[in-house]
Structure formats: structure tokens, C-alpha cells
Amino acid sequence: MIKTIPFKLSFKIFQWMLVLLIAFSTYLGYQFFQVTIQAQKIENQRFWVISQLSAYRSRIEKKSYLSRQYQRSNNSIYLTKYNEINIANENGLSISTLIYTPLSANERILWGRAKLVDGRLRGLETDAFYYIKHRKKYPSRAGGGSVLFSGEYVRLNLALMTIINKLLESVNNRFQQKISHIKIQQTGLIYTIPSMLAVNLVLLLFTFVLINRRMKSYHKELKSLTIKDFLTGVHNRKYLMETGPLLISLNQREQTQVAVLMLDIDKFKLINDHYGHDAGDDVLIAFSHTITHRLRKGDIFSRFGGEEFILILNKVTEADAEHFANEVRDLIGRQKLSTQQGDIDYTVSIGVVMSDDVSSLNALITLADKALYQAKNSGRNKVIMIKSENFPIALSS
């Protein structure tokens, strides 16, 4: 019998392995999707912050330009555009109002400095606009607008631009590092997912080969069960009646002979009655093993029924067959089988017949049975051979 993992259990194990691999592959796919979404979110955040800071820098530049143009020309159009930018800035989205934190601690410090400098610039511009607008009321301060061209104003503008540029660079680098980290994760998953698919394919191939081998093994075992005797392990009567005629026909074509031996364990019923059926089974097994070890390739040994066995010796002469039968009889007679019920001595009677050019297996078995009957009646533990020239007499008797 096959002493391995049962087929149903091995198939169940394969099913669970496949389910786990599919689940893990699905998990990897989900992770890849999540990483991709996260990368997109980070890129969106970066784009939004960069856009807000760039727009803020653009507004500062526009305000400085418009305020200076207003001071030069005293044209209210520039003041109107300046005020429109302020209103749009107040109604627009501020960095601090977003649901996530777009700036790091250092960037928030820079942002705070930028707001302070921006406040000072707007304060200078407001004062300049006021004195420009009330030139007549404050003639002594009529030149107040010149502050927009002063060294302090220029210095504050440059400082603000420097802070904003540093802030833009810091934000861009920080988000790029995050995106690079996400890209590394994506790359790892990109290589891992195909690897898992390859593992799945290899597992499927391996399982297919394993199942195919197991099926062949089971097929071989099932075939063996149909042609082997379950107790002794030798061929059964079915195998004998299917294969024996082919062997005889082959010898008839090649003009050679086979010997058909019918073997019967002497007084087997007494062994069962005295030692028990388990001991009787041990005798049958030991007897079968003894004969099996003496077989050549091409010989057929089968259990015919009960304690009777048929042995077909391929391509032998009468002398060879008779010598083999006596050798087996002597070997069995010298055996002593030890069982739990005690030691058992037993013998065997053998009827032998040689094939001819026309006799069938059934006819040869009938003749061997008659020879066995003569061996039993002449005292048991004997070998009786029926010669081919005596076939008609033996068959008619």
C-alpha cells in the first residue's frame, strides 16, 4: 500500500496553498494600488503648495510693481489693481486652511518670517499711498511715496523673495524625497508581483506533475489490487487465467515447453483448527514468500484458491521441472514457522504437468490437479508428474 500523504489531504494542502498565494498576490496588488494613490496624493500636495507659494510670490511682485507705478504716475488705475489683488488674496485659499499639513516645522518658520516681512512691506506701501493721496493736506510729507524706492524697501523685497525661494526649494525637495521613497516601494512591488505570479505558475506546474505522479501511482496500485492476492501478495487467479494462456501460446510458437505445477499445503485445515486462522494466514504468507524468492523472470505464481497455488515455469524441460518441484518440496519441508501460538512444521504436495503443442491452460491445470491428487493419496509431501504421453489416460481417468 502507498505509505504517503493521502491524495485528498495533499489536494487539500494544494488548494490552501493556492488560496494563500492568490490572497497574497491580491494583497500585493492592493498595496501597489495604495502606494500609487499615496504617490498621487503627495504629488497633488506638492503641486498645490508650490502653486500657492508661486502665486503668493507673484502677488508680491505685482504689488511692488503697482505701488511703484502709482507713486511715479499718481494714476489711480494702479491703485485700483493693487486693491483688487489684496481683495483676491483675502478671498483666496490660504496654506494654513488645508486639511493636511503641507509645511514642515522649518518651513513654517520660513513662512512666518515671510509673513512678517510681507507685513512690513505692506505697511510701507500703505503709508506711501496715504501721503501720496493727501499731498495737499501734508505738503511737508508729499515726498513720502519715495520710500517705495528706498534702500529699506528694496532690501525687504529681496529678503522676502529669498525667503519664498528657500521655502519653495525646501517644499519641493521634501516632497520629492517622499515621492522617491514611494517610487522605491512601487519598484519593489513591481518586481514582487511578477515573482509571485511566477511562483504560482511553478506551483501549479509542480502540483500538476505531483498529481499526475500520484494518479499514476494510484492507478498502478489499483491495477495491482485487481491482479494480486491481498493476503499473500502473489498474483491472483484472475491474473493467472489472463496471462497463463499467453505464456503457453508463446512457448507453443517457439516449440518450447512450460511446466504447470499445482501446489497444495498438506493438512492446512488442521493447522487452522489447531493454531487458529491467523497462524494459517502466516503459513500462507511464508509459503508464498518462499516460492516467490525462487522464481525466475517470466514465471507465473498465483494463488488458485484457499491453500492451493499454481506455478507456471517458463521454458523448462521435464527434468528441470521435476528437479525444481522437489527442491521446493524439500525447502518447505525443512521450514519451521514461529507464531504466537507456537512453532509450525508443514509440508507441500505438488502435481506437475508439462505442456504440449495443443493443450490449453485449463487442460493443463486439470492434469496438474490429478497429479496433485495422486501425491496426496500416496502419502503427501510428494511430487507427482504426469508425462505428456499419458495425457489421454490422465484426462479420461
Ordered per-residue pLDDT tens for the chain, 397 residues: 344 566 667 667 777 777 877 787 787 778 878 888 888 888 888 888 888 888 888 888 888 888 888 888 888 898 888 888 877 765 544 555 544 567 788 888 888 898 899 889 888 888 888 777 776 565 555 445 577 888 888 899 999 899 989 988 988 888 888 888 888 887 877 777 677 777 777 777 777 677 777 777 766 766 666 788 889 989 999 999 999 999 999 999 999 999 999 999 999 999 998 988 889 999 999 999 999 999 999 999 999 988 999 999 999 999 999 999 999 999 999 988 888 878 899 999 999 999 988 889 999 999 999 999 999 999 999 999 987 655 544 444 4
Spatial contact of 70 and 120, defined as CB atoms under 8 Å apart: no
Bridge partners for 343 per DSSP: 338
Task: Give the separation between CA 155 and CA 162, rounded to whole angstroms.
Answer: 10
Predicted confidence (pLDDT) per residue in 52-104, tens digit: 888 888 888 888 888 888 888 888 898 888 888 877 765 544 555 544 567 78
Instruction: Tell me the pTM.
Output: 0.51
User: Quick one: CA torsion of 95, 99, 103, 108, rounded to 10 degrees?
Assistant: 60
- Cα dist from 200 to 29, 32, 134, 149, whole Å: 15, 19, 84, 74
DSSP string, 357-382: SS--HHHHHHHHHHHHHHHHHTTSS-
Q: Where are the domains of the chain?
A: 7-201, 237-396
> What Rg value do the Cα atoms of the chain yield, rounded?
53
Q: What type of residue is 393?
A: I
Q: 348 CB contacts (<8 Å, ≥6 apart)?
A: 263, 264, 265, 266, 287, 328, 329, 332, 333, 381
What number does CATH give the domain 237-396? Answer: 3.30.70.270
Predicted confidence (pLDDT) per residue in 336-387, tens digit: 888 887 889 999 999 999 998 888 999 999 999 999 999 999 999 999 998 7
